Structure 1
Amino acid sequence: MTGAALQGLASLPLYDWPELRDATDALWAALGARLREVGLPAPETLDRDTPAAALWADPELLFSQTCGLPHVAGAARATRLICTPNYDAEGCGSGRYSSAIVARRGAVADLDALRGGRFAANGSDSLSGWAALLDAMEPAAIGEVVWTGAHRASVLAVAEGRADAAAIDALCWDMAQRFEPAAKELVVLGWTRPAPAPPFVTSALTVSGDRARIRAALVETLVDPETAAIRAELRLSRIVAFADTDYDDARALARLVRVAETARPELREG
């Protein structure tokens, strides 16, 4: 993709909770305007209709955010790393993030008490909700999995007693404490090991000069006083210039998932 492209696609699907949709749209409006100023084909609005995986594979993709596992697996063939966000939330820092392992308040004393239990997980392609859980608990400790499709749904599954525990992305846990009443029924038993935060990506066809323009526009957006309130709401403070090799931790977690699901096929989603 170059500045002469007829159209571009953009999405921010990972943390697009309804309560934050206005802030997400405002962030994109500010960033998109800067991208158009430098000749890039930024759309006026974010695409919320096309499935995320389809957008990541689209050669017209200008800007999106992908989970770490898809980034180092299938999406890596179709996308290129732009940069990594840094979030100001518990469990986040220096471009990395962890997951909170949560259980119902008063149900268990510690992580050891969860061995053999039923765990909620948003999806088998999730670094924060599945791979990080396997890393923290060991596959043998997982008795059963309830697949929920989203971190918020995992919070509800644990609060309602359909699962004993779940690993919740640190930023989603911050959001749940602000917006999801069921989170008050849960307690954090521990945190998973930090991993690189979900990266901002563009199509593999986006040339290096345009990737640099996107990074520069994003930096300008994140230091603009006009976006301060938006950034605070989204907990987005700055970007970190990670290289693709900085996602080797995610690659190791992807291998762990493959090994675990080979050894215990009953853990596979679906």
Structure 2
Amino acid sequence: MSELVAALPMYDWPEARDEVDAQWALLRDAFRKKGIDAPQTIVRRNGDLPPVPGGIHDAQGKLIAPDPATLPPDELDFHKLWLHPALLFAQTCWGPMELGLSRQVQVVGQPSYDAYEGGQGELYSSALVMRTGEGQEVRSPADGRALIPLDLIRGKRFTFNSLDSMSGIIALTRDLQAAGESLDIFSTRSESGGHRGSIVAVAEGKADVAAIDCESWAQAQRFEPAAREVVIVGWTGWRKGLPFITAATTPEKTVRALREALAGLAEQPRIQRVG
């Protein structure tokens, strides 16, 4: 049995878990054909992570995360997952990567967002949503430029999934800055804990505006009833989507094999080789 860890947590909604498991099976089998001891299943709980007695340390010996065995077993702490020394393969976000995670992991590939409005290849954008009737619905710009309805969102209440989310807040912040504005355009800001929660908050009138990455929006249209109560009124500009990563300690030979396996799956709808 493999002692390595894999996870695909970023779009792992309960209703989509069979699809996520199927995606991992495709990846796992491709990795195994390259001689990689990929685990049979992905982890979904802290309790599924191998213990690291004494905690997780970086290359300089600094403690950067506690032993996963000390975390609530039925939850999944994404940041501790990403830092686990046994991590073979997982998804993350460029927000945490820019905030320091990139020093602790290696990027092995990018997913393709061709299947979603607002996506092209490895690039994706976020849909700005408001309650139906409060703004005119717009399609994503073909050139991937930001389309921010400044007058419409000014003075409104903004909700976002987390402060380190590229799709939920950082991309919008940068697009606003490019337009000579800032997050101060909103009357209030609140953290929802997830894109799905942001959609629900807007639909229920607890917030007025949220930025939802294009794949999460497509997922919400399938599985979240509250998505029928909101409409897209704008888009952030294209940025690189969620990268696939492996631990900093993963051997160079294994990283090369992971990339080769991803390249072999390049014709699949959601896999794309890293450049």
Per-residue deviation, 1:178: 1.6
Q: Using the alignment, how far apart are the partners of 2:5 and 2:219 within structure 1?
A: 26
Give the unaligned 5+ runs of structure 2: 47-76, 137-148, 177-181
Kept after mapping to 2: 8 A contact 1:58/1:78: no
Match of 2:96 in 1: 70
TM-score normalised by the chain length of structure 2: 0.77
Bigger drift between 86-95 and 212-221 goes to 212-221
Give the 5 Å matches for 1:202-213.
202-213=246-257
Q: How far apart, CA to CA, are the structure 1 residues paired with 2:120 and 2:171?
A: 17
Match of 2:190 in 1: 146
In the alignment, residue 210 of structure 1 is paired with which amino acid? T
Alpha-carbon distance in structure 2 between the residues aligned to 1:206 and 1:64 = 13
Greater per-residue helix proportion: 1
Aligned to 2:87: 61
More displaced 10-residue stretch of structure 1: 125-134 or 31-40? 31-40
Native 8 Å contact 2:158 2:209 kept in 1 = yes
Q: CA deviation at 1:117?
A: 1.4
Aligned residues: 227
1:20 match: secondary structure: helix
Q: CA RMSD in A?
A: 1.8
1:218 maps to which residue?
262
- Partner residue of 2:220? 176
Structure 1 residue 222: Cα displacement: 5.0
Match of 1:46 among 42, 45, 49: 42
How far does residue 240 in structure 1 lie from its aligned partner after superposition?
4.0
CA displacement at 1:145 relative to structure 2: 1.3
The match for 2:243 is: 199
1:86 alignment partner, SS class: coil
Q: SS of 1:83's equivalent?
A: strand
**Map of 1:247 onto structure 2:** none
- How far 1:206 sits from its partner (Å)? 1.4
154, 160, 179: which one pairs with 1:121?
Answer: 160
Which residue does 2:272 correspond to in 1? 239
Deviation by residue 1:147-170 (Cα, 9 ceiling, x = unmatched): 111101100000000000100011
The CA distance in 1 between the partners of 2:153 and 2:257, in whole Å, is 47
**Aligned residues with identical type, % of pairs:** 41
CA distance in 2, matches of 1:111, 1:73: 28
Q: Deviations over 1:31-83 (max 9, x none)?
A: 21232343323111101103211111111110001011112223212110101
Distance in 2, matches of 1:67 and 1:38, equals 26
Q: Which sections of structure 1, spanning at least 5 residues, go unmatched?
A: 243-270
Q: Give the match for residue 119 of structure 2.
A: 92
**3-state secondary structure, aligned to 1:190:** strand
How far residue 6 of structure 1 moved from its aligned partner, in angstroms, is 6.4
Partner of 2:170: 131
